Chains A and B, each alone.
Chain A
């Protein structure tokens, strides 16, 4: 069924009791032309673009839990393309363009809100870095605007912009087209659209082994039995390392925990995404009214999907330094997600050394905004057995070749990016 004002009205008259299920839950077939491991945004998007653009409709997405139960449903929903290095800038800008049309494409409202992402500048060094990045973005055709402290104070009245602030604000770099997207809607929208094109989405189906025969991919083992396929796309975020290990590969990736938290819901008080690199803090207000906040990693390897209190305290302290008036709000929930940190902070969207094996991963703490482009390029790479020019740099081999894409110049420490 196509969602529209008419379907809404019709179903309202029937008390919303007859909406069809958004996707089927079929039993897996014995074999598929391709199997995607992981039913987060990236896996579902891969399946959708494989079916839509590459006529590969005999495919399955296997998810060990439920759709979007991983980082797709745990992130702080910020989308932007304010990157410095060319491969990242081109890739994330492609993604932002896909976000701009995604609700129409999928016939599902993903609530892309171009409310602007503002990076605060607190020091002369910050200023140099912001100018350098802003200019690099503009050279790549990406929107970037410098805002003075007075403009920021006018636009964001709650922000502590006085000269004697704990973290004085000298200005900020705004990407107006950056903003937020409703995270669950992304998983559901891609799932529904992929299902409509014939993709089998199978939840509660963990891949426990990858079978390799005569040097190439032959299929996957699951609790529901062996599923044969000549092509496997891995899209499992924090589990990239141990799923790749099923095919005998070791990755330049560590799994870490990133936390986020929300306040109780209040009326609209903040209509821009505000971030501060110096304070390690970012905040936005959800449509429900909660202030959504996050900060740093916990800085140790983890698969626990929860973190510890020092980071919560750090985020709360940063929030109060920048937005003193939020001090009366209660923190409602905190949670964590297992993020796949690469050694240069950039992703891997590539053919792997085993024929028929592909991955999109290494998303660190910033892969939500990449979802459409990652799926699009992963699908292209799987269908053509070679990368598109937009993901040609995001190989696994770049580490061995010294061709790192290290946005921060932080070196080979997974937690430093």
Chain B
């Protein structure tokens, strides 16, 4: 089981959460070229290792937040509020 640290509620069982996918993709400007939109919508790094993700505490405080999780082991490396940078969280590994 994953014990997921919600930055608002603390560690909770994974069944309270919904994964929202890759947190690194950035929405392009409205007038950005089609290639930028294509990359945003469809292309993913899909790393074999630490992955920065969006999660929703759907069965709890209903906030979106960021989680860094290792896709090889499922180890949770860091979590952060949506506006914070995962890399700056104390103890975060990359």
Contact = CB atoms under 8 A, between A and B. Distances in A.
Whether chain B is bound by chain A comes out as yes
A414 interface: yes
B60 to A, nearest CB: 15
Interface class of chain A by DSSP: mixed
Given A303-B72, A304-B72, A399-B38, A310 B44 contact: no
Contacts of B11: none
Interface stretch (A138-146, A248-256, A379-387): A248-256
Contacts of A250: 39, 43-45
A308 B74 contact: yes
Which range holds the interface residue count of chain B? 20 to 34
Contacts of A303: 48, 71-72
B18 to A, nearest CB: 7
Interface class of chain B by DSSP: mixed
A254 B44 contact: yes
B32 interface: no
A375 interface: no
Contacts, number: 70
Interface in B55-82: 69, 71-74
Interface in B38-53: 38-39, 41-48, 51, 53
Contacts of A255: 46, 48, 71
Contact of B21 (A252, A304, A400, A414): A414
Interface string B1-40: 1100000000000110011011000000000001100110
Interface string A328-364: 0000000000000001000000000000000000000
Interface of B: 1-2, 14-15, 18-19, 21-22, 34-35, 38-39, 41-48, 51, 53, 69, 71-74
14 contacts: A242-B46, A242-B48, A250-B39, A253-B46, A300-B69, A301-B53, A303-B71, A304-B74, A310-B15, A343-B42, A400-B34, A412-B41, A413-B21, A415-B21
Given A251-B44, A308-B2, 16 more contacts: A241-B46, A242-B47, A250-B44, A252-B42, A255-B48, A300-B53, A301-B46, A302-B71, A303-B48, A304-B71, A304-B72, A304-B74, A309-B1, A310-B1, A412-B41, A415-B19
Interface of A: 239, 241-242, 250-255, 299-304, 308-310, 343, 399-400, 412-415
